Amino acid sequence: MDDMKNTSGYVFSLGSGAISWCSKKQQIVAQSSAEAEYISAGLATQQAIWLQRILEDFGEKEEAVTIHCDNKSAIDMAKNLVFHGRTKHIAIKHHFIREAIEDEEVQLSICKTNDQVADIFTKALPREKNPEIKRSSWSSRTTH
């Protein structure tokens, strides 16, 4: 049943390998695609900060983590603290992304939709986008 809730997804890579990924249904109904992306970016920010702290425990000090988002309005909401009229109904817990940007723990960057790696966690992948997908099950697919 469609409950009108969006799905957030992210993938973090270190070097050439994925080290963390998630696909999670959002707890609220977003009123726009920008709001859904903003909430998703907030979820990714939580994970980015956690991963930074783990790397610090290993003696690696990382610069701000770049989070690639394919929605310019969501990035504007996160960067513009006076964008209050359109975001005042969003739960406070989602706004901590603004503080993470101010503290230079994360930075948001626009990403073309066609280049968005995390889409596989939130949408069905059409055959046109990846012609290697065959009608057989995922388990029979090999990677190189």
Q: 96 vs 121, which has greater pLDDT?
A: 96
Q: What is the mean pLDDT of the chain?
A: 77
Residue 117: pLDDT above 80?
A: no
Burial 32-55 (b: 16+ CB within 10 A, else e): eebbbbbbbbbbbbbbbbebbeee
Q: 136 vs 120, which has greater pLDDT?
A: 120
Which two structure tokens, joined as six digits, stand for 20?
């963390």
pLDDT, tens digit, for every residue of 69-98? 888 888 888 887 655 556 666 666 667 788
pLDDT of residue 139: 33
Cα–Cα distance, 139 to 38 (Å, whole number): 33
pLDDT of residue 129: 57
Q: 135 vs 45, which has greater pLDDT?
A: 45
User: Concatenated DSSP letters for 10-24?
Assistant: EEEEETTEEEEEEEE
pLDDT of residue 23: 85
In contact, 24 and 6? CB cutoff 8 Å: no
In contact, 19 and 35? CB cutoff 8 Å: no
> Domain extents for the chain?
7-140
Residue 142: pLDDT above 50?
A: no
